[in-house]
Amino acid sequence: MERVTVIILICLLAGLSECEEGGDQNQINQNLITELSYEDTKAENNNDVSADPGSETPATRTANKTTDHLCEPNIYMVLKELGALEERQKATVRALEETNTKLEASEKKVAALNSTLTELRTTKQAKIYFLVFLGQRQVAFSAALPTEATIGPANVLYPLVYRHVLYNVGGHYSPVTGYFTAPVQGVYYFTFSSFWWGGNTGNSGGSLYHNGNPIVSWYGYSRAHPISGSNSAVLMLQVGDMVNVRLWGNRQISDNGNKYCTFTGFLLFPM
């Protein structure tokens, strides 16, 4: 804005200079016109004695009007335009400042909306993943021995079949074979409990097996009192790995409607 004002002032000064030069030239032209007009009107003035010697001739009036027209109106117009231009520039600056303020507010709103949209997308994706995970990764079971009698003693490892299923989401435990088969690679938790009424043999025992290998066991001995035992383990299983409980040779286990003997397992997290 300062630069524009300086340019206008320079133009104003140049106009004033031209006006002064034009005024001097007009004065010369006026003198010439006066001299020429004097010769033409001399005869008329001699004949017309009553004419006013001090009155202006038409040429004199034309020269004066030309001088006034060249100088005075130009100065006023430039000053007026300069003031109007300054007002317009101030209004433009105010409008730009208001526009910048509105743009900054709009940018903040857009940033807030983008952040909210990102959070919603993340939450939605998390919910979808969680639902898919629940639908495909729900693995848990619990079962009990259904017998009202004692199993054993047998001279071999005896796979226990927990036929009374309490819970079996995913169907990965078989109440026909007593085996649990891992559907996904991951970390699993298993636990089992046992009970025996006691008697002449006086002992009970067995183990949790993973793919035919013993992992953890229980053992109890008493000829006069009932025996109970339990154990648990966390195992890393591959797809298709098998887990079950087996009674040791020449050992016994008992149960009734109270369901003392149970086998339970579930997936902690996939890998």
The answer to whether 204 touches 251, Cβ cutoff 8 Å, is: yes
Of 9 and 203, the one with more pLDDT: 203
Least confident of 69-83, 179-193, 211-225, 241-255: 69-83
Strands 253-254, 180-181: pairing kind: unpaired
> What is the distance between the alpha carbons of residues 186 and 260, in angstroms, rounded to a whole number?
29
Nearest alpha carbon to residue 243 among 227, 260, 220, 266: 266
- Amino acid of residue 70: L
Buried b / exposed e over 4-41, threshold 16 CB at 10 Å, is: eeeebeeebeebeeebeebeeebeebbeebeeeeeeee
Q: What are the residues facing 243 on neighbouring strands?
A: 180, 210
Angle at 141 between CA 266 and CA 236, to 5 degrees: 30
- 59 phi, psi to nearest 5 deg: -65, -40
Taking residues 38-60, what's their average pLDDT?
48
DSSP-based three-state secondary structure for 128: helix
Instruction: Write out the two tokens for 10.
Output: 């320079």
Q: Tokens 């340019």, residue? A: 7
In 121-177, DSSP assigns E strands to: 140-144, 150-151, 158-159, 164-169
Q: Is 60 exposed, middle or buried (0-12, 13-18, 19+ CB in 10 A)?
A: middle
Tokens 């046992």 -> residue: 194
- Say what the pTM is: 0.53
State mean pLDDT over 113-118: 89
Backbone angles phi and psi of 199, in degrees to 5: 165, -160
Q: Is the pLDDT of residue 265 over 60?
A: yes
What are the helix (H) ranges across 138-234? none
Span 27-50, average pLDDT = 48
In DSSP terms, which residues pair with 263 in a beta bridge? 143, 192
What are the pLDDT digits (tens) for 205-239?
Answer: 999 999 999 999 999 888 888 889 999 999 999 99
Tokens of 184: 């996904």
Mean pLDDT of the chain: 78
Where are the strands (E) in 26-153, listed by range?
Answer: 140-144, 150-151
Structural contact between residues 153 and 199, judged by C-beta atoms closer than 8 angstroms:
no
Residue 210, beta-bridge partner list: 213, 243
Query: Using CA atoms, how far apart are residues 239 and 182, in angstroms rounded to an integer?
Result: 5
**CATH class of the region 140-270:** mainly beta
Tokens representing residue 246 in the block: 């087996």
The DSSP bridge pattern shows strands 150-151 and 213-221 to be unpaired
Query: Higher confidence at residue 127 or residue 49?
Result: 127
